[in-house]
Amino acid sequence: MSDFIYLASQSPRRLQLLEQWGVRCELLLPNADEDVEALEAVLPGEAPAAYVQRVTALKLVASLTRLQRRGLPPAPVLCADTTVALGRRILGKPADAAEACRMLADLAGRRHRVLTAVAVGKPGARGARQWSALSTSWVSFDALTPAQIRRYADSGEPLGKAGAYAIQGRAALWTRHISGSYSGIMGLPAHETAQVLGAAGVRLV
């Protein structure tokens, strides 16, 4: 059994959720010379579910390598990735407020999917064992006016968020319906995370 894990994510929301669930975490963040954005590139014709699982797997391999190179004490490593999908179209993190406005205009008044993949790797003498899971949720937004979208984009909240919104923030005000995992929409699905961490020997409630 392990009494702590490494979280290989820069998302404060994931760290907050793990701490709420009583999981002790140490951050395992990339070095300045690691090109994380390259890992998140979408392949031509790639389906959203395949994409988010592939990116998470790549992040886990990179994180396990990082752990070994730094000579840190062995412990399970947790990685996750979230994407928003409108049909087969993948909506990643907007580069600026203008792109955020375009994404939100497309999502307004429609139903879309939020997919979060989570993976855990546990270092061992014979290499790392790995476990993974996928959470799929559905979110429906109210119709939004251009002025509403612009005000939200100008708030800065959409930047750095898949699909240009944060369900736990102001976007909750126009979220009409959710089906699935609220924490998964935030970026780390509780049930799936508990399953993979438990398989890796992490103490949970």
Catalytic site includes residue 81: yes
Give the burial class of 44: count Cβ atoms within 10 A of its Cβ; 0-12 exposed, 13-18 middle, 19 or more buried.
Answer: exposed
Which residue among the candidates 33, 35, 81, 96 is catalytic per the annotation?
81
Among 109, 92, 116, smallest CA distance to 164 is for 92
The span from the first CA to the last CA of the chain, in angstroms, equals: 13
Please give the positions annotated as active site. 81
